[in-house]
Amino acid sequence: MQYDINAIKKILPHRYPILLVDRVTELTVNESIVAYKNITASEPVFEGHFPDQPIYPGVYMIEGMAQAGGILAFESHTKENINMNGKIVYFMSIDKAKFRVPVTPGDRLEYRVEVTKKRGQIWQFIGKAYVEDKLVAEAELKAMVADK
């Protein structure tokens, strides 16, 4: 199941420059999602992080994983015929975040997010980010589906 940027924008409230998922390439309801963000030299964050040696911020990688998890939670509820009108997925917590390798312009940052626990409207995930199958970041994430 693939989602292009227009489908993603129907699910996530984020917009440029903080919409950090370009495409979803795989989604298994209530289980996992694979999505990516193309990192380009024109990202506004590189004006300050860092002008002479651009490195994609770790917090953006975490946010991208959280956005992918939000898409997974939202679509899982939708596929279970739960009315998601007026609902949003809120990011609740980050644990055990690790940044292993710098991400730079030209990289394709792939998010692989798996559900570890789901209880009602609360979701827990393990998020991992890769560039060319090399692990660059990981974290445990928690989110909840709530009214806007």
- Asked if 49 is an active-site residue, the reply is yes
| Catalytic site residue from 14, 23, 49, 87 | 49
H, E, C per residue of 57-116:
CHHHHHHHHHHHHHHHHHHHHHHCCCCCCCEEEEEEEEEEEEECCCCCCCCEEEEEEEEE
**What are the two backbone dihedrals, phi and then psi, of residue 67, each rounded to the nearest 5 degrees?**
-65, -40
Q: Which residues of 77-96 are buried (b: 16+ CB within 10 A; e: fewer)?
A: beeeeeebeebebebeebee
- Catalytic (active-site) positions: 49
